[in-house]
Structure 1
Amino acid sequence: MTLQKLKVAFLGPLASFSHQAAAESFKKASADLLPHVSFSDAFASVQKQEADYAVIPFENSTNGSVVQTLDLLSDRNNQYKDVKVCGEYYLTVHHCLLVHKNSYPNGLPSYDGKITKLYTHPQAWGQCEKFLNEYFKGVERQDVSSTSKGAEIVSKEKDECVGAIASHFAAEYHGVDALASNIEDRADNTTRFLIFRNIHADRTAGTTLDFESSSSQTPIPNGDSKSAEKEKETTRKTLISFSIDHSSPGALANALLIFKAHGLNLTSINTRPSLRRAWQYIFFVECGRKVSVENDDAVMKALNDLRDVTESCRDLGTWKDQLGVSI
């Protein structure tokens, strides 16, 4: 019997950085990569089990967190209750300034200042500020749904001289030229993508891909001592969200101390508005731990204690730390 290919959702269109991240993170698996027009559509496809996984950008090393992803994880209307993080992928991001085919055959030295509008995804502007301020100061910036969409707009524009910030991959796909390459502010500009699955999906319940964390439910095969040792050395990351009573002094401190009490190392904290009352927030805490017999149930114990000091809390998933593996 032929096994059906995995279905992997990502933010489209084709040739976006999300497409590249999905292709690279699932390169060892048999998978169909499915573009979606928005982050919420990709999330919904996993919740409805129309896709097995979704690859979604979470943060950039230069420009910080992707608020659209945090808003989806806030899940204020309980739309994505079965969607959890199961992995991560780090993609080194190199941006190009793309222009219409053959408009500047000699590259940036021949640029005559005629570009009137630039297109890209909102995250990309902050990653290329130095270049933009030097060559395109005052030029109108237009947000679009993805970097690849910007490249597509440039390829179809016939009347106006426009440009886009996107990848070489997008330039080749849409048939446009790179006026300049590697225009990002930092050479180590990297985007971390989170990989999501539906915790009730049978198709993914019995699989452990390279980016996923094995657990007591998915033990290492007997006799594979090298794999066992490597597994013990691997750091696990966990993402937890919670809300607190903002009127209670020390409420946030009490919540954060629980992570320390259970040996969980805090690596990042983010917030988004709760939308229940102005100036009240949902907190997102990412923590890590080295696998050991002693801390095997540390996350579960921390969650139990958090329920006593927060108004609500949610386990958003545990996965294998890929930092230092993919970069």
Structure 2
Amino acid sequence: MPANRLKVAFLGPPASFSHQVQSQLQIPPPSSFSLPHIIGRIEFVSNSCFLFLQAAAESFDNTDAELLPHVSFADAFTAVQQQVADYAVIPFENSTNGSVVQTLDLLADRNALYTDVEVCGEYYLTVHHCLLVRKGTYPSGWAGYDGSITKLYTHPQAWGQCDNLLSQHFKGIERQDVSSTSKAAEIVSKEMGEHAAAIASKFAAEHHGVDILKENIEDRADNTTRFLIFRNTRVERPAQLEFEQPSTSTEATTRKTLISFAIDHSSPGALANALLIFKAHGLNLTSINTRPSLKRAWQYIFFVECGRTPSDENKEAVLKALDDLRHATEFCRDWGSWKDQL
């Protein structure tokens, strides 16, 4: 393996990754898994392992990169911090369900474990769900469904993305959370004592040998997960990847910046004063999130994402805003800037 080959961390437990990806795509095990084996062959599925895999694969398309599955977001962050991986691709928010809490907790970095990690890019991936049932249960498909399903299985994040269908056709039906959408399909494939269904992917249906009762059951056709791409600030690279390079388009490209900070909660107007700093420097606030500080109950770490169209007038806007924030907050941290890919 070339010494300069990029290593990209993503969430995908090795056991399930090896079993499912190798069996369906006929590719090498994770230790030698690389993009040439994926591009043009992988089919998107909503199971987290494959969702993160595709995001990592497409983010580093046309790049000689080795994809490294990790069992948790924290492990992927640690791999970047310790320079075991060059990049990590981590989900940040879903267009239907909102922010990914596990990622925000890592960005809170309460114990200063990831001091050298920063955001350098983003990637958007559309998510589709299917309603799956045991093979042969409903030969006529959705048109012949008689309302006999008594239990539903899926990953907790999928419920909110399919609320319209659930409210209309499965109101009052028992819902069972499981570790992944693929696991839900597996349970339904083996269930013999009741009429159960799973919310999972088309790939999961094929893999576990169950029928698709209804496809594309998500509330919105644009149901999308946004991933952030992380790197280590201390590592120097001779060439930037496409998402790191300055825009060559004649149209101005928005740059996004993510900043975290904490305030003195006992000081009236402290949060308002901090937020006004962004306006003063021409930075457009696009989202605000919070997580508990864990230093004292009901006190928080704030995460602000802002955007600007680069110009000669505002090229120092982020640096000036950070300087002002240091005087108006208990602490603040710049998590990096990147090109808006929306």
Deviates most, 82-91 or 158-167 = 158-167
Report the equivalent of 1:289. Answer: 308
Matched to 2:6, the amino acid is L
- Per-residue deviation at 1:314? 0.7
Query: How many residues are paired up?
Result: 308
- Cα separation, 2, equivalents of 1:151 and 1:24: 26
Aligned to 2:215: 181
- Name the structure 2 match of 1:239: 258
Show the counterpart of 2:241.
209
Q: Deviation of residue 210 (structure 1)? A: 2.6
Residues 245-285 of structure 1 show CA distances to partners (whole Å, capped at 9, x for unaligned) of 01111111111111112111111111111111111111110
Equivalent residue, structure 2, for 1:121: 155
Q: 2:92 aligns with which of 58, 61, 65?
A: 58
Q: Are residue 91 (structure 1) and residue 125 (structure 2) matched?
A: yes
Q: Does 1:261 align with 2:280?
A: yes
Cα deviation 1:38-59 (Å, max 9, x = unaligned): 2222222222323222222211
> 2-side partners of 1:8 and 1:285: how far apart?
26
Q: Secondary structure at the match of 2:242?
A: coil
Query: In structure 2, which of residues 307, 310, 318 is the aligned counterpart of residue 299 of structure 1?
Result: 318
Tell me what 2:228 maps to.
Answer: 194
Displacement after TM superposition at 1:158 (Å)? 6.0
Q: Deviations over 1:33-91 (max 9, x none)?
A: 33333222222222232322222221122221111211111111222222221111111
Percent identity among equivalent residues? 73
- Cα displacement (A) at 1:174: 4.1
Tell me, in whole angstroms, the C-alpha distance in 2 between the residues paired with 1:87 and 1:164. Answer: 34
Report the Cα distance in structure 1 between the residues aligned to 2:66 and 2:204, rounded to whole angstroms: 19
1:75-125 superposed Cα distances (whole Å, 9 cap, x missing partner): 112222222211111112211112334443432234454544333232211
Correspondence 1:248 to 2:280? no
| Amino acid of the structure 1 residue aligned with 2:258 | L
Give the structure 2 partner of residue 69 of structure 1: 103
Are residues 247 and 91 of structure 1, via their aligned partners in 2, closer, same or farther at CA, if it must alter by over 3 Å? same
Q: Structure 2: which 5+ runs fail to align? A: 18-44
Q: Which residue of 2 aligns with 1:223?
A: none
CA separation in 2, counterparts of 1:10 and 1:295?
34
| Larger mean Cα displacement after TM superposition, 301-310 or 136-145 | 136-145
Shift in Å, 1:303: 1.0
User: Corresponding residue for 1:151?
Assistant: 185
> 1:166 Cα deviation (Å)?
2.2
The TM-score normalised by the length of structure 1 is 0.84
- Following superposition, the deviation at residue 290 of structure 1 comes to 0.9
* 1-structure distance, mates of 2:171, 2:321: 49
Residue identity opposite 2:231 in structure 1: R
1:222: which partner in 2?
none
* Residue 307 (structure 1) shift: 0.5
Match of 1:127, SS state, is helix
Label 1:234 to 1:84 Cα distance change in 2 as closer, same or farther (>3 A): same
Once the two structures are overlaid, the 10-residue window that deviates more, 283-292 or 31-40, is 31-40
2:297 corresponds to: 278
- Greater CA deviation, 289-298 or 266-275? 289-298
Change in 2 beyond 3 A, CA 1:59/1:308: same
Q: Is the 8 A contact 1:87 1:213 kept in 2?
A: no
Q: Return the alpha-carbon distance in structure 2 between the equivalents of residues 52 and 154 of structure 1.
A: 39
